[in-house]
Structure 1
Amino acid sequence: MGSDSHSHDTGSGADLIEYDIDDEPPLSEAIPLGIQHLLAMFLSTVALPLVIAGAIGLEPAETTFIVQMALLVAGISTIVQVYSVGPVGARLPIVMGTSAIFVAPLIDIGNAFGLAAIFGAVIVAAPVEIVIGYFYDDLRRFFPPLVTGTVVMLVGLTLIPTAIDYSAGGPGAETYGNLENLALAGLVFAAAIGFNQFFDGLLSISSVLIAVVLGYLAAIPLGLLDLSGVGESSWVAVPMPLEFGVAFHPSAILIAAFAYVVTSIETIGDIEGTTGTVGRTATSREMRGGLFADGFMSMFAGLFNAFPNTSFSQNVGLIGFTGVASKFVVGICGVFLVILGLIPKVAAVVAAMPNPVLGGAAIVLFGMIFSIGMRIVANRVDLTRRNLTIIAVSIVLGVGVEVRPDAIGQLPDDVQVLVGSGLLVGGVTALVLNAILPADGDTRQGPTQVEETERAD
């Protein structure tokens, strides 16, 4: 279908589109454009597995393997989302990767039950998103912007302690809080903000990735970079399913199930945002296919030792920024991810990231998640007394159980895992209060559309 006709008339006030969804730019353009998508999402899709692995105490070799699987599964999921397998896939230019929504819940599950329980919960709970896709039109009314914005804010807030821990040197590190760690994290943080705010184009889009590379270089004279694992890694490896086993715990599955509900809301917004760049609304088939891909490919991720996958909103923003909506370009990005996922040495280099470097990047990434949720609420919710009450109570309870887990220490272990998840407690609180409190004149609570969301992820 290669089309050389640029500047398509998309109507509906759409931005100028250089390549439409079904256009295929020549490879000389498509490959660099695909690499640009890779750069925009790369750090998020490897940083999140690194955070989870570090927080639950995995060994370096295990961490390297999980990062490798994250890249591989992201690539396969992207290709399925772009070109579809039967009803699975939106056939839209959507990049897939590890979901930030799951970071805090999976850390809670891993610390309580171990790594096998994480993968068990990821696999068993994934059909929740498939069901949401099937009944999409009937279910979306339960998730107005009041609820979705509050939940997105909670995702960012519950990850703040993790970002600070890594900036200080990592949980339990002997050098926790020393000046070298804080200075290195500060350098990465400052570089990420600087490139994002003072530059345009690729330098701005890839600001966090550039900051991490600078952090790697700065870590060398500080003696904080250990690349010994790279030499021990092979060049090519074949993935093995269920390498870490699988275990099933009801409370772990419930936590994961709610996280799937949240990430499906984000995916709905990303699909609408993607079709909006070419001046039209998403069809029911595209919406169902996109949510099916989230669910089925997250189940696939759990089988192959990776964490749940979802659409990456920063890549939706990149499409609007460049005017290139070609799914062929995004498919090339998926191919590059698969190639990287089959090369353990690449994963080993990533896994060697010093904790303060990861922490400095995490402050930016996780902070952006909170600000995106705040923007959803500010732009799309009337801040009446009722709505302010729902936001306040949901956030206080959600953050409270995360930062003061001893308060629920007398509860049974399985119950502790459930009510110790800030995302679950705060999210359910927002859902229930929104359903039972009488409306008081809020006018902007239309169907949920989280097109504002951009995953730091």
Structure 2
Amino acid sequence: MQGKHPVDEILPGRQLFLYGLQHVFAMYAGAVAVPLIIAGAAHLAKEQTAFLINADLFTCGIATLIQTIGFWKLGIRLPIIQGVSFAAVTPMVMIASTMGMRGIYGAVIIAGLFAFIFAPYFSKIINFFPPIVTGSVITIIGLSLLPVGINWAAGGTGSPDYGSPTNLMVATLVLISILLLQKYFKGFIANISVLLGLLIGLVVAIPLGMVNLSGLNTAPWLKIDTPFYFGLPTFNVGAVISMILVMLVIMVESTGDFFALGEIVGKEISEDDVARGLRGDGFATMLGGILNAFPYTAFAQNVGLVALSGVKSRFVVATSGIILVALGLFPKLATIVASIPSAVLGGAGIAMFGIVAANGIRTLSRVDFEKNPHNLFIVAISIGIGMIPTLAPEFFKAFPSWCQIIFHSGITLGSLAAIFLNLFFNGGK
């Protein structure tokens, strides 16, 4: 009798909590960034901004539970954290400045419904993801995320002390701590090396005055997410079309993340898996429109944490979902987690995101470059195209706004390039 796949293994309670908390720390900064940007574009008051962040965390948790545990035909049942897609930021900022939050949520609900219905048809593209494509996409995901970790290590983009010796010292300390824990410890301790590294960095950052707990005293203990807090949604055709384009981009990104995670945990991803995962994205996005949140997708940075920690259980990430729900309900907890300095996150981010790129290279090692030299061109050009938005953010600024929704995502560009180049050179094999 075969044992359970590591993905389906239920670990002891203490391990579930600590591993799950590690995932929350890794994704928290990205999770709260989008609501902060949208709140600024919509000129929301401080209290409304706080509500928006809590609503987002609450819905992140529900979306993560849907993907990890699975309900009916929803959820891919892999260790995937759900978070707000950055692909949706540009159109949502435009909608917020002209139509307000109600216009955003009307477009988000319809776009989520579109993804939910279209998911089984979109999943047919599974045949276009052989190792030459998945390896390229995974590498692009890692390389695209690395600048995020590097900027965190320097103190965060726009920070007045960006690149200061103190920030770099703390980030380096976190990274070295993770490496030492990985080398000299085994099992449980090695698996939570990122969490321990973050805690070591936090302890060092406190006496250096890097930890800001302002707002903790004024934050309420409990805040319930109220559906349609900003009023009933409005439906504008232009806004809906732009958000549907965003969902198509999200579906390409999520599919790439599904295959990346499948490679890491050693589980083959079927057409039905992709359909369930994309339905989960669509349902979570519809829910986001109701619960004052946004479009949701798999968070690529947590794919790196799965690879680095070696913990493959989806129930670990389901625990992360429960923690996110709690953070959304208890603003004081969310304020404490938000106080972790960017430099501390950066030390861990460099390790996690680099591991994603390394896994892509490992997948590409299975590709035959000797008998088929065309494969070299597929990898080279798809990675080159995929890195354009990361290395030159203004590269496509002269294009129409609807084009920029697609071109803004290096993962989408690189995925499409790899798929079409493989079709051109290999006929899709």
* Structure 1: distance between partners of 2:308 and 2:160: 41
* Structure 1: distance between partners of 2:155 and 2:304: 28
1:208 corresponding residue in structure 2: 194
Are the aligned partners of 2:54 and 2:329 in contact in 1 as well (CA < 8 Å)? yes
* Structure 2: distance between partners of 1:209 and 1:258: 31
1:31 corresponding residue in structure 2: 13
* Structure 1: distance between partners of 2:286 and 2:56: 13
* Structure 2: distance between partners of 1:121 and 1:186: 43
Pairing 1:174–2:157 present: no
Q: 1:159 aligns with which of 120, 135, 145?
A: 145
Give how far 1:288 is off: 4.4
Pairing 1:267–2:249 present: no
- SS of the residue corresponding to residue 227 of structure 1 reads coil
- Give the gaps of 5 or more residues in structure 1: 1-8, 440-444, 447-457
Pairing 1:426–2:409 present: no
Give how far 1:438 is off: 4.4
2:329 corresponding residue in structure 1: 342
Could you tell me which amino acid in structure 2 is paired with residue 361 of structure 1? Answer: A
* Structure 1: distance between partners of 2:416 and 2:130: 14
* Structure 2: distance between partners of 1:228 and 1:168: 22
Q: 1:77 aligns with which of 63, 72, 81?
A: 63
* Structure 2: distance between partners of 1:114 and 1:187: 40
Structure 1 residues 219 and 275, CA gap change in structure 2 (3 angstroms): closer
Structure 1 residues 180 and 403, CA gap change in structure 2 (3 angstroms): same
- SS of the residue corresponding to residue 81 of structure 2 reads strand
* Structure 2: distance between partners of 1:405 and 1:343: 36
Give how far 1:162 is off: 2.6
Structure 1 residues 184 and 35, CA gap change in structure 2 (3 angstroms): same
Q: 1:41 aligns with which of 13, 23, 29?
A: 23
1:10 corresponding residue in structure 2: 2
Q: Greater CA deviation, 312-321 or 299-308? A: 312-321
Give how far 1:213 is off: 1.7
Structure 1 residues 34 and 301, CA gap change in structure 2 (3 angstroms): farther
Structure 1 residues 330 and 163, CA gap change in structure 2 (3 angstroms): closer
Are the aligned partners of 1:71 and 1:341 in contact in 2 as well (CA < 8 Å)? yes
1:353 corresponding residue in structure 2: 340
Pairing 1:98–2:86 present: no
* Structure 2: distance between partners of 1:435 and 1:415: 23
Give how far 1:112 is off: 6.8
2:387 corresponding residue in structure 1: 399
Could you tell me which amino acid in structure 2 is paired with residue 263 of structure 1? Answer: S
Structure 1 residues 106 and 79, CA gap change in structure 2 (3 angstroms): closer
Are the aligned partners of 2:221 and 2:330 in contact in 1 as well (CA < 8 Å)? yes
1:272-326 CA distance string (max 9 Å, x none): 98795xxxx788766644442233124324543255144865797799869xx79
2:350 corresponding residue in structure 1: 363
What value does the CA root-mean-square deviation take over the aligned residues?
4.2
Are the aligned partners of 1:271 and 1:287 in contact in 2 as well (CA < 8 Å)? no
Could you tell me which amino acid in structure 1 is paired with residue 245 of structure 2? Answer: L
2:173 corresponding residue in structure 1: 187
* Structure 2: distance between partners of 1:361 and 1:118: 34
Are the aligned partners of 1:185 and 1:359 in contact in 2 as well (CA < 8 Å)? yes
TM-score with structure 2 length normalisation?
Answer: 0.77
Give how far 1:80 is off: 3.6
Give how far 1:333 is off: 5.9
- SS of the residue corresponding to residue 225 of structure 1 reads coil
TM-score with structure 1 length normalisation?
Answer: 0.73
* Structure 2: distance between partners of 1:292 and 1:169: 37
- SS of the residue corresponding to residue 235 of structure 1 reads coil
- SS of the residue corresponding to residue 25 of structure 2 reads helix
1:34-92 CA distance string (max 9 Å, x none): 324423422233232145567889698777656544543343234444665443346x5
Give how far 1:96 is off: 4.3
Give how far 1:10 is off: 0.9
* Structure 2: distance between partners of 1:186 and 1:386: 40
Give how far 1:202 is off: 2.4
* Structure 1: distance between partners of 2:412 and 2:271: 29
* Structure 2: distance between partners of 1:432 and 1:283: 21
Give how far 1:210 is off: 1.7
Could you tell me which amino acid in structure 1 is paired with residue 412 of structure 2? Answer: L
Structure 1 residues 402 and 250, CA gap change in structure 2 (3 angstroms): farther
* Structure 2: distance between partners of 1:433 and 1:250: 28
Could you tell me which amino acid in structure 2 is paired with residue 200 of structure 1? Answer: K
2:120 corresponding residue in structure 1: 134
* Structure 2: distance between partners of 1:415 and 1:290: 26
Give how far 1:354 is off: 1.5
- SS of the residue corresponding to residue 217 of structure 2 reads helix
Could you tell me which amino acid in structure 2 is paired with residue 403 of structure 1? Answer: L
1:371-425 CA distance string (max 9 Å, x none): 2222222235646321211221122222234322444444344444543432333
Aligned residues: 412
Structure 1 residues 202 and 242, CA gap change in structure 2 (3 angstroms): farther
Q: 1:385 aligns with which of 373, 378, 393?
A: 373
Pairing 1:219–2:205 present: yes
Give how far 1:429 is off: 1.8
- Give the gaps of 5 or more residues in structure 2: none
